[in-house]
Chains A and B, each alone.
Chain A
Amino acid sequence: QVQLQESGPGLVKPSETLSLTCTVSGGSISSYYWSWIRQSPGRGLEWLGYMYYSGSTNYNPSLKSRVIISVDTSKNQFSLHLRSVTAADTAVYYCAREGVPNEYFDYWGQGTLVTVSS
């Protein structure tokens, strides 16, 4: 059974970088697309971007150049880095798997709350 688990700081200061890691267990990170999705009362569910295990990426233009998703296949992990955060980036962050692009998210992490505050 594939499982995803997010980890990282729950509190980030404004203007700093939010960094989260998703560890995949019960299956290989290879041959799938790995996304970050966040949820907040104000924005609802928002797809941030995905990475293929080979390293190719596709980001939501709304985040402009603030987001980077990277993968470490040796650890079966992928990571989210969101620069220059503001209070509007406060949300529950989920990692999720998509079999192929333009499909659906079949596995999700449990989510982790990140609060942006000084």
Chain B
Amino acid sequence: DIQMTQSPSSLSASVGDRVTITCRASQSISSYLNWYQQKPGKAPKVLIYAASSLQSGVPSRFSGSGSGTVFTLTIRSLQPEDFATYYCQHSYNTPYTFGRGTKLEIK
């Protein structure tokens, strides 16, 4: 199985900040990398697919980049509703696997 490692596991930031979350795959996954946001008691919601494509309806302050084994999710100008947990997931082959998450908290 491909292992997905996220860093940091938690992050404190303020409204208006720019934050970056990193996800590393244990082998090359080309651009088969997705990012999800999850709020307490809710299902994950896709933000970015294929490493850098913004899902319809997702604010443009979210962006993704990377290919191969290293990927980043950047949130430009944090809004109050962005404080949540973020997960990466590869879809290169099965079994699909997820990172352990990055919890973004208000400073």
Contacts and interface: CB of A to CB of B under 8 A. Distances in A.
Interface residues of A, number: 21
A26 to B, nearest CB: 16
Nearest to A44: B100
A83 B96 CA distance: 21
A45 B89 contact: yes
Contacts of A27: none
A109 B43 contact: yes
B93 interface: yes
Contact of B34 (A44, A101, A104, A110): A104
Nearest to B56: A106
A108 B49 contact: no
Nearest to B97: A47
Interface in A47-69: 47, 58, 60-62
A32 interface: no
B95 A102 contact: no
Given A102-B32, A106-B46, A44 B101 contact: yes
A78 interface: no
Nearest to B99: A44
B43 A108 contact: yes
A60 B95 contact: yes
A47 B97 CA distance: 7
Contacts of B97: 47
Interface of B: 1, 32, 34, 36, 42-46, 49-50, 55, 87, 89, 91-101
Given A44-B100, A102-B32, 20 more contacts: A44-B98, A45-B44, A45-B87, A46-B98, A47-B96, A47-B98, A60-B95, A61-B95, A94-B43, A101-B91, A102-B91, A102-B93, A103-B91, A104-B49, A104-B89, A105-B89, A106-B55, A109-B43, A110-B42, A111-B42
Interface of A: 44-47, 58, 60-62, 94, 96, 98, 101-106, 108-111
